[in-house]
């Protein structure tokens, strides 16, 4: 099998594409953790747990939850069920409510 074998080149390109996707996904999740840390006044480890719990309780992939949180940071809107789960998780980990929500 030579270095210019089309199957090998194709396999390597697919691997590179997967690695690029993983790096982007990791960056999105890290940025969302940063937002949760800042807004929820929790540690980075707790921010990760918050994301995982919101993902599990809403049955939405963690990366998609992270994307929704980043969109929320830019535009100020987030699906109500995600906001509710985010508030519940932060109630378990953090000292305060999500900013911009009314007290009950």
SS (H, E, C) the chain: CCCCCHHHHHHHHHHHHHHHHHHHHHHHHHHHHHHHHHHHCCCHHHHHHHHHHHHHHHCCCHHHHHHHHHHHHHHCCCCHHHHHHHHHHHHHHCCCCCCCCCCC
Residues 6+ apart with CB under 8 A from 76: 100
| Sequence spans of domains, the chain | 42-96
Average the pLDDT over each of 10-14, 19-23, 58-62, 73-77 and give the range with the smallest value: 19-23
Total-model pTM: 0.73
pLDDT of residue 104: 46
CA 3 to chain CA centroid, Å, is: 38
Binning pLDDT at 50, 70 and 90, where does residue 98 land?
low
């Amino acid at each position: 099998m030579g270095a210019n074998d089309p199957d090998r080149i194709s396999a390597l390109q697919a691997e590179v594409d997967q690695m690029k996707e993983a790096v982007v996904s990791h960056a999105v999740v890290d940025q969302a953790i940063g937002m949760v840390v800042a807004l929820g006044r929790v540690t980075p480890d707790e921010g990760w747990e918050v994301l995982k719990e919101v993902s599990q309780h809403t049955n939405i992939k963690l990366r998609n939850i992270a994307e929704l949180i980043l969109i929320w940071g830019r535009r100020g809107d987030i699906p109500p069920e995600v906001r509710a789960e985010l508030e519940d998780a932060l109630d378990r980990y953090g000292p305060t409510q999500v900013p911009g929500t009314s007290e009950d």
